[in-house]
Structure formats: C-alpha cells, structure tokens
Amino acid sequence: MQSTVSLLIIAFLLVGCGPIPELEERVEYWTLETSEFLRGTVTIDDMHPWLRERGVIYTFDDDDIVDGSWTVALEKLYPNTFRCEWVDIVLVVEFDDLGRVQSSFIDLNHACLW
C-alpha cells in the first residue's frame, strides 16, 4: 500500500513538473512579434499603438522609464501545473536619451518552482 501511494505521489509530481508548451509557444510568439516590430528606429510613442493593437493592457507614465529602461507585461498565463501558479511574459526595453529603442528582450516574471 505504501509503495502504491509513493508511486502515485511521484507520478503526480512528474506530471506537474513537465514542460509548459503554452508558455513556450507564447514566448516564441512574443519574441517574433517584438523582433519584427523593433527592427527599425522605434520610439516609445511608436510602442503605445503597437501594444494596444495586440491587446496588451497596461498603464504608462513617463516615470515608468527608470534609468532608460521600461518593462511592460505582455501576457499573463495560468499554467495548469503543480509547480507553477502564474507566469507573466514581459518585454524589457532600453531607450536612449531621445526615447529611441536601443535594445529589448523578453523575460518572465512568475510564481513557479523553477
């Protein structure tokens, strides 16, 4: 009986600790979207309509740019796994003194066990 319970616990943990395909797909989507959009010269003013067109809900104030860097949550996922409650896919953007995008990357904020 004890070994059966142990096997069930291990099976439960393995199922909960597998990859999160939805997360991988969404990170790939946002990576492609941002890289295409940010190819040319883009300013903060260009980013607002682009984000709204993609359904990103956010608030913005010029004070949100700290030391030339701005982070905006693009999407929140709620994976149905034991190890992860939620994941935010975020875009981190670095601006120059004229408000032009110098660099960017996709990052994750999460409440996960990884």
Q: Where are the domains of the chain?
A: 20-112
Residue 104, sorted as left (phi over 0), alpha (psi -120 to 50) or beta, turns out to be beta
Residue type, 16: G
DSSP lists the bridge partners of residue 69 as 66, 94
Q: What is the mean pLDDT of each run of 10 residues along the chain (114 residues)?
A: 49 53 91 94 93 89 83 90 86 93 93 76
DSSP lists the bridge partners of residue 88 as 76, 109
pLDDT of residue 82: 74
pLDDT of residue 111: 85
CB atoms within 10 A of CB 36: 9
pTM for the predicted model, two decimal places: 0.77
pLDDT of residue 19: 66
